[in-house]
């Protein structure tokens, strides 16, 4: 078998998140804190928009870059938010699809990509698969954006810096002063910034600033999966200023030969989603965040998440993996921190679950600390 496989497959591992999630099929009514999937369904108005598109025959390919009306809607929003005159945009098959296209366009073997640690798991594996080199910059213990350490990590091989705010797995939301400081560092070094903003709607304690507002060499990735519970619809987009238009054009070219286009009926629903108010859903998750923090903060060391729907919690002295094994043995599915980090000191909780399960899981985890 080894002779049949390409060398690149040895550079990636099976997803630790999916491994734990798969355990749900074997467990009786577990508390599932493992996967980042909203516990609400797609809002009815957006389902109806998709159904209407299907019934009206919007079932063929769209243009590679996406439905013209959706692209116009995206460009208008990006222009209003960041002040870019003629934004370039591409509709992708999820932010994961956008990440793959961007990395394929930008990374040569040996190129360095600076990533704050902890990080979203996909970055590491795609970069490694393409022959790039991940340069991890520690953000422990408070998970603030490590601007000075990022500046020190830049070399002549640095191809990009990745920013993920609100962050998966920590829930950190980087404040404006940190974002501005990083924009200055990136501009001085003339380094592209990829800003992964899939959770941009889920900000609980104020604004969620984007580096794209301050730096025009920012490649913005946003999506519909989390905010509207469209995880299975695979809908997202990439946007850039004129300075990075060529990057988006090359991504579009590769999409022709890979994904072809994003699902057309769901692109029509995404148009409606861009005008849909999710503030009540965000309020519900703010309350869940508070429930989790208040329930665990006396027993565990954790930073209160500012956004997304995750908490990255320091495990007892035994370490992240050992504690996760005990939690799973007690019917609570959580993810070991070393899936998202070069350390094995923490574990991740997704609090995208019912209030009842949230309370049950908190009680079990606290009991494991005693």
Q: Cis bond leading into 110, ω under 30°?
A: no
Given this model, what pLDDT does residue 267 score?
Answer: 97
Given this model, what pLDDT does residue 23 score?
Answer: 59
Q: What is the pLDDT of residues 200-249, one digit of tens each?
A: 999 999 889 999 999 999 999 999 999 999 999 999 999 999 999 999 99
Given this model, what pLDDT does residue 42 score?
Answer: 94
Q: What is the pLDDT of residues 164-175, one digit of tens each?
A: 999 999 999 999
d(CA 255, CA 241): 20
User: What proportion of the chain, given as a percentage, has pLDDT over 90?
Assistant: 88
pLDDT at position 18 over 80: no
The two most distant CA atoms of the chain are separated, in Å, by 59
Of 26-40, 90-104, 138-152, 236-250, the range with the lowest mean pLDDT is: 26-40
Instruction: Decide which of 206 and 177 is more confident.
Output: 177
pLDDT at position 8 over 90: no
d(CA 36, CA 352): 7
Q: Are 29 and 42 in contact (CB under 8 A)?
A: no
Given this model, what pLDDT does residue 86 score?
Answer: 93
Tell me the pLDDT of the chain averaged across its residues: 94
Residue 51 CB partners (closer than 8 Å, separation 6+): none
Question: 88 pLDDT band (50/70/90 cuts)?
Answer: very high
Given this model, what pLDDT does residue 37 score?
Answer: 86
Question: What residue ranges define each of the domains in the chain, with the CATH number in brackets?
Answer: 7-42+278-368 (3.90.1150.10), 60-273 (3.40.640.10)
Q: List Cα–Cα distances, 369 to 86, 298, 310, 362, 364, in angstroms.
A: 54, 10, 20, 11, 9
d(CA 132, CA 105): 12
Q: Are 21 and 295 in contact (CB under 8 A)?
A: no
In angstroms, what is the C-alpha Rg of the chain? 20
Q: Cis bond leading into 166, ω under 30°?
A: yes
pLDDT at position 14 over 90: no
Q: What is the pLDDT of residues 104-136, one digit of tens each?
A: 999 999 999 999 999 999 999 999 999 999 999
């Amino acid at each position: 078998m080894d002779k049949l496989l390409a060398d690149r497959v040895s550079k990636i591992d099976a997803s630790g998140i999916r491994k734990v999630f798969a355990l749900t099929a074997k467990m009786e009514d577990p508390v599932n804190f493992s996967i980042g999937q909203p516990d609400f369904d797609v809002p009815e108005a957006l389902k109806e928009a998709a159904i209407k598109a299907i019934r009206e025959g919007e079932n063929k390919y769209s243009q590679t870059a996406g439905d013209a009306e959706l692209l116009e809607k995206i460009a208008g929003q990006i222009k209003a938010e960041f002040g870019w005159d003629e934004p370039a945009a591409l509709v992708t098959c999820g932010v994961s699809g956008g990440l793959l296209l961007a990395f394929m366009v930008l990374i040569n073997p040996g190129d360095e990509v600076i990533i704050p640690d902890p990080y979203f798991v996909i970055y590491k594996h795609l970069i490694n698969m393409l022959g790039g080199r991940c340069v991890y910059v520690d953000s422990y213990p408070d998970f603030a954006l490590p601007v000075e350490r990022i500046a020190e990590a830049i070399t002549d091989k640095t191809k990009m810096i990745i920013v993920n705010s609100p962050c998966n797995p920590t829930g950190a939301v980087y404040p404006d002063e940190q974002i501005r400081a990083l924009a200055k560092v990136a501009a001085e070094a003339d380094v592209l910034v990829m800003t992964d903003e899939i959770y941009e709607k889920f900000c609980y304690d104020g604004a969620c600033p984007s580096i794209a507002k301050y730096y025009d060499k920012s490649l913005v990735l946003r999506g519909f999966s989390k905010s509207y519970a469209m995880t299975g619809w695979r809908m997202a987009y990439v946007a850039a200023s004129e300075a990075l238009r060529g990057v988006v054009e090359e991504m579009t070219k590769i999409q022709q030969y890979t994904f072809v286009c994003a699902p057309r009926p769901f692109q029509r629903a995404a148009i409606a989603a861009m005008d849909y108010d999710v503030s009540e859903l965000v309020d519900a998750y703010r309350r869940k965040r508070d429930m989790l923090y208040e329930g665990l903060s006396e027993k565990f060391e954790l930073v209160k998440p500012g956004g997304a729907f995750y908490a990255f919690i320091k495990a007892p002295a035994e370490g992240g993996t050992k504690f996760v094994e005990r939690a799973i043995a007690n019917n609570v599915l959580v993810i070991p921190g070393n899936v998202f980090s070069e350390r094995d000191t923490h574990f991740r909780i997704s609090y995208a679950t019912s209030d009842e399960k949230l309370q049950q899981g908190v009680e079990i985890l606290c009991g494991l600390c005693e």
